[in-house]
Each structure stands twice: as structure tokens, then as C-alpha cells.
């Protein structure tokens, strides 16, 4: 299992997964699996859809619902809009979306039911990104290499492509590692010496990075054709990620991470309405943020905290989320373009991930260093809807 590359994360993931799907909760088991199907289908993840179709039937779900979303009860169909937004453009979620689902009526949701449903949706959006990001989703082999083999937890050697394992390519890849290590050390040293950057400059650097992220995309990858057994669980299939800021368009205001924090708002709310899951989600977030083996390709004993924070904050940046206390100039210093392409692809449109996108960055790094559990911007976007 690919998650076996990260035993600590695997343990946290299984505890969360077990609580969401197997333990007592406001939603019946078959509806939990159907919601998982709906979430995975938004990202065209046939692997997860197929897995939960089987689970849905095993716990007594109505086979007729599997003909498509139109055959499911209206109460479940009403989740389609917020599922769509959380999967692709979480910054568009508002409190009105929540209120509409809670509005009294025959097909209304209780608050406890809705919290469980929304946690399931965001959990499976994130899991779909992980599945595509490490090549698990079974697709036909294409020229772009979409049928790549997932890395084995027992074989954690460098995943370098054939053209970079020897000769000039191999030397170039090794030089990339040394240059990154040098930039990392210089950045850490400068952080100790500098008095700090002004808030105005911080904001300016974020807007610059957000604008530059428009140009980061896998340009040679055609949009995958959705499979009919996945498409039937999706409404408005053309709806997808749209860059948070486009030239010539009025952008929504940047979402300040400090306005809604997991620690101050999300944890207590979820724990009150869905006991225990808040603690497990908190544990999972902490594992993702702090995950390191203090290695960088062939080097050991490396402090990777600055690099990990740059990756974490870049993921949130492409969703319009800004950390006031972070200097986004560090992102450009540490993240090469090919890495940005991989991060943005996996986070924003994971179904477009190909073998080429995976192999082009960090060519001498181990699989365990490249296959990273993703953060969940959609959960943070959901939090913003409460204000």
C-alpha cells in the first residue's frame, strides 16, 4: 500500500477512515458510502468510486441508486452543489449553501448529519488527490503516461525517469538536489539575521505568487474523458477548478487563513457535533504538516521544515488562502516550476496527473519524499462559510 511509505500518516488515516465509515454516527452506513462515491466522482476517481460501490452494496444499499445520482433520494442529491464547490472552488462556498441544506422540510439535513456529510466529502476529495498523485487510479496507458505504477512501500528508491538516471541527465538531477539544499540553508540563515519583512511587502509577495500561479499548469495534458460509471454520479460535469485570480477579471477577496483557523473554530465545532472526529482530523493535519524523515535525496540530517511550509502554503495559495505571517518570496526560492506543476495538478485537478508530471520534479528524491499526503483547503474553505 502506497500510504505505507508514511506509517505515521497511515495510522492516522485508518483511524479517521474507520470512524467516518464504521463507527456510530448520525448517517446510516450506506449513505456514508454513497457520499464517498459522490465526492470521488467529482474528481473522476474510478478507483475510489468502484471501491465504495462495493462497500455500499455490502452494507445493504439500494442497487437502484447506483444507476446514477438521479436515482438517489433528493436529500442526497441536494449535496451535489456543495460537493461541486468544495471539490473545485471552495472559496465560493457561503453560509447560504449551508442554510439551504438545513432549511426545515422533508429533505432537510440535521446539523449533525450535515457535519458528517461535509467531513466525508472533504476527506474523499483529499483522498482522490492522493490516489491520482501517486498513480493508483487504474486508467488506460496513454502517451502522457497516465497509467504509471504506484510506488511500493518496500521499494523506496529514486523514481528518476530513464533519461535522468545516467549521463548528463543524472548529473543535472544531482545538481538540482545540491542547489535546493544550498538555497534551503541560505534561507534558514537569512531568517535568523533579518529583522523581518513588512506586512505590506508580505501581502504584495502573496499577490505576486497567486498571480504567477496562473501560469503553472500541465500544458501538454489533454482533459481526461470521464467514464460513464463515474459520470453518472456527477451533476454539471464541466464545472472544475478555475484560477482564483484571472487577468482582467474581478477576483474574490483573498481569504486570510487567520480569519478562520482550525484550532480556534473548526476543531471545537466539529467535535461538538461529531464527537472524536475533530481530534482525529487534528491529529491527521498535524502529521501532514510535520511529516519529515530529515532526508533530502542522498542527504540525511536535513531540516526540511522551511521547504515543507513552502509546499503547504503554496497549496493554499492556489486556492486563494493567505497566511499573514508567511513570506511568499520563499516559495519561488524553494519550489521549482516542475514541482509547482505537480502540486497544483494534484490539488486542483488531480484527474490530469500523469507519470510525466510526477517524474519531472525532484528526480533524485525517494518516493517517500515525493508522495506527500495533501492538506485539505476545501475544509478550510468550508470553515470560511460559517462567517
- For residues 127 and 268, which has the higher predicted lDDT (pLDDT)? 127
Res 140: pLDDT: 46
pLDDT digits (tens, 9 = 90+) for 42-65: 999 999 999 999 999 999 999 999
- For residues 218 and 117, which has the higher predicted lDDT (pLDDT)? 117
pLDDT digits (tens, 9 = 90+) for 56-101: 999 999 999 999 999 999 999 999 999 999 999 988 899 999 999 9
Pairing mode of beta strands 321-322, 255-256: parallel
CA distance 357 to 348: 14
Pick the catalytic residue: 45, 134, 148, 348?
A: 45
Mean pLDDT, range 169-198, rounded to an integer: 79
- Has residue 21 got a pLDDT over 60? yes
Res 195: pLDDT: 61
Q: How would DSSP label each residue in 66-131?
A: GG-GGGS-HHHHTTHHHHHHHHH-GGG--HHHHHHHHSSSTTPPPHHHHHHHHHHHHHHHHHHHHH
Res 222: pLDDT: 58
Catalytic site includes residue 45: yes
The contacts of residue 347 (CB under 8 Å, 6+ apart) are 129, 315, 318, 319, 374, 377
pLDDT digits (tens, 9 = 90+) for 116-175: 999 999 999 999 999 998 877 655 444 444 445 555 544 555 544 444 445 555 677 788
Mean pLDDT, range 328-340, rounded to an integer: 91
The model carries a pTM of 0.85
Amino acid at each position: 500500500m502506497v500510504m505505507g511509505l508514511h506509517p505515521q500518516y497511515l495510522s492516522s488515516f485508518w483511524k479517521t477512515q474507520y470512524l467516518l465509515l464504521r463507527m456510530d454516527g448520525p448517517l446510516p452506513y450506506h449513505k456514508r458510502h454513497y457520499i464517498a462515491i459522490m465526492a470521488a466522482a467529482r474528481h473522476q476517481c474510478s478507483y475510489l468510486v468502484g471501491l465504495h460501490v462495493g462497500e455500499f452494496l455490502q452494507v445493504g444499499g439500494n442497487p437502484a441508486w447506483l444507476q446514477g445520482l438521479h436515482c438517489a433520494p433528493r436529500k442526497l442529491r441536494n449535496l451535489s452543489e456543495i460537493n461541486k464547490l468544495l471539490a473545485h472552488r471552495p472559496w465560493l462556498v457561503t453560509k447560504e449553501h449551508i442554510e439551504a441544506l438545513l432549511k426545515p422540510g422533508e429533505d432537510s439535513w440535521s446539523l449533525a448529519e450535515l457535519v458528517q456529510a461535509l467531513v466525508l466529502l472533504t476527506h474523499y476529495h483529499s483522498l482522490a488527490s492522493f490516489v491520482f498523485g501517486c498513480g493508483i487510479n487504474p486508467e488506460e496507458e496513454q502517451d502522457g503516461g497516465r497509467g504509471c505504477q504506484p510506488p511500493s512501500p518496500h521499494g523506496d528508491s529514486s523514481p528518476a525517469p530513464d533519461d535522468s538516471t545516467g549521463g548528463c541527465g543524472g548529473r543535472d538531477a544531482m545538481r538540482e538536489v545540491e542547489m535546493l539544499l544550498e538555497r534551503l540553508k541560505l534561507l534558514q540563515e537569512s531568517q535568523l539575521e533579518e529583522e523581518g519583512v513588512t506586512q505590506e511587502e508580505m501581502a504584495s509577495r502573496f499577490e505576486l505568487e497567486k498571480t504567477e500561479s496562473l501560469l503553472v499548469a500541465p500544458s501538454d495534458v489533454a482533459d481526461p474523458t470521464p467514464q460513464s460509471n463515474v459520470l453518472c454520479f456527477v451533476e454539471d460535469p464541466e464545472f472544475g477548478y478555475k484560477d482564483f485570480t484571472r487577468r482582467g477579471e474581478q477576483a474574490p477577496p483573498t481569504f486570510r487563513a487567520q480569519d478562520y483557523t482550525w484550532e480556534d473554530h473548526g476543531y471545537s465545532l466539529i467535535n461538538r457535533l461529531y464527537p472524536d472526529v475533530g481530534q482525529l482530523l487534528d491529529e491527521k493535519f498535524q502529521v501532514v504538516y510535520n511529516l519529515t524523515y530529515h532526508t533530502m535525496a542522498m542527504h540525511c540530517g536535513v531540516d526540511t521544515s522551511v521547504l515543507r511550509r513552502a509546499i503547504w502554503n503554496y497549496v493554499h495559495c492556489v486556492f486563494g488562502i493567505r497566511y499573514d505571517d508567511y513570506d511568499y518570496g520563499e516559495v519561488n526560492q524553494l519550489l521549482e516550476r516542475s514541482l509547482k506543476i505537480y502540486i497544483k495538478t494534484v490539488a486542483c485537478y488531480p484527474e490530469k496527473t500523469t507519470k510525466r508530471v510526477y517524474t519531472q520534479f525532484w528526480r533524485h528524491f525517494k518516493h517517500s519524499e515525493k508522495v506527500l499526503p495533501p492538506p485539505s483547503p476545501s475544509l478550510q474553505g468550508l470553515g470560511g462559510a460559517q462567517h
